[in-house]
Amino acid sequence: MNALQLPLAVTPRSRYITCEGREIHFMDWEPEAPTGPVVVAWHGLARTGRDMDPLAAHLCAQGWRVICPDTIGRGLSQWSPQPEAEYCLDFYARTATALVDQLALKRFHWVGTSMGGAIGMVCAAGPLHGRIERLVLNDIGPQLAEPAVQRIRSYAGKPDAFATVSELEQYFRTIYKPYGFLSDAQWRLLTESSTRRLLDGRVTPHYDPAMVGQFTHHPQDYELWPTYDRIDVPVLCLRGAESDLLLAETAEAMRDRGPRALVVTIAGYGHAPALNVPEQFELVQRFLAGN
């Protein structure tokens, strides 16, 4: 099953909530007859919550409710009028807390890709301590490799613009090649769910380029070892074997300190596995189910 072939029973609702004074968009995958836990699934730095469609569709079909937000400044969420202050992990964690509070989610699991995992670490050790029951970190850890950060900043800070959506899709296929296998339909969905048209008619990725200022205005944001060491719930770390962001030695250290993460290396992937194939569904679901 790919992200464009979803049973009608698991068709999500597109919703908006004001969190910390900012409108946040999220997809609410709520089964007709819930039988499993609630999962918050949070996307990466320059992406949107729609990246979680395949995983959310799979879990929802099993009776699990899945909440997939767009971070402020991404997708359909509001862009920050105070980007230097608000594009940072602290504010993202505050909006996440406001979101789950308004949804009356007392206890839930968290799956986060890249930045979404960093937000999860901050929340699990801080404002949502005792409410996040299990944490999945998809190719993210308490320490980032600087060359990879510079690589991401090089394209995220000044996103290219194209005359056609098809050209933008080819661009996405190039920069997100480390995601691994995506079907043609999934590449098209990734493109269409993260495209905005500029005043001159060209199309560009659907995020506020100012969000990359996080690395300038909050340079220690991703130095998270003290935060990681305070986490006291089970942690699964998925690492792309070819990842340039989460180095093997960092993942190994995550096994030995703090929550002593279960680390699974996924062959053939870089930063970050797309969580869109049955093998990855199974890894996440089995861990969240306590197996």
Give the pLDDT score at 16.
98
Look up residue 211 and give its DSSP letter.
G
Give the pLDDT score at 153.
87
Whole-number Å distance between alpha carbons of 87 and 211: 6
Q: How many helices (DSSP H) and strands (DSSP E) are in the chain?
A: 11, 10
Q: 122: which 2 tokens?
A: 């901050």
Whole-number Å distance between alpha carbons of 102 and 151: 37
At 13, the amino acid letter reads: R
Calculate what percentage of the chain has a pLDDT beyond 90: 91
Calculate what percentage of the chain has a pLDDT beyond 70: 97
Ordered domains of the chain (ranges, CATH): 8-288 (3.40.50.1820)
pLDDT at 2 over 70: no
Look up residue 79 and give its DSSP letter.
P
pTM value is 0.95
- Residue 64: Cβ within 10 Å count: 23
Give the pLDDT score at 155.
84
* Angle between the N-to-C axes of helices 184-192 and 165-175, in degrees from 0 to 180, rounded to the nearest 10: 110
- Reported as a pLDDT band with limits 50, 70 and 90, residue 9 is low
- Reported as a pLDDT band with limits 50, 70 and 90, residue 7 is very low
Q: 259: which 2 tokens?
A: 């929550």
Give the pLDDT score at 34.
85
Whole-number Å distance between alpha carbons of 165 and 187: 12
Whole-number Å distance between alpha carbons of 246 and 118: 12
* Mean pLDDT estimate for the chain: 95
The contacts of residue 239 (CB under 8 Å, 6+ apart) are 139, 246, 248, 251, 263, 264, 265, 266
What average pLDDT does the segment 67-85 reach?
A: 98
Whole-number Å distance between alpha carbons of 253 and 194: 34
Give the pLDDT score at 8.
44
What average pLDDT does the segment 83-101 reach?
A: 98
Tens digit of each residue's pLDDT (9 = 90 or more) over 147-202: 999 988 888 888 999 999 999 999 999 999 999 999 999 999 999 999 999 999 99
At 191, the amino acid letter reads: T
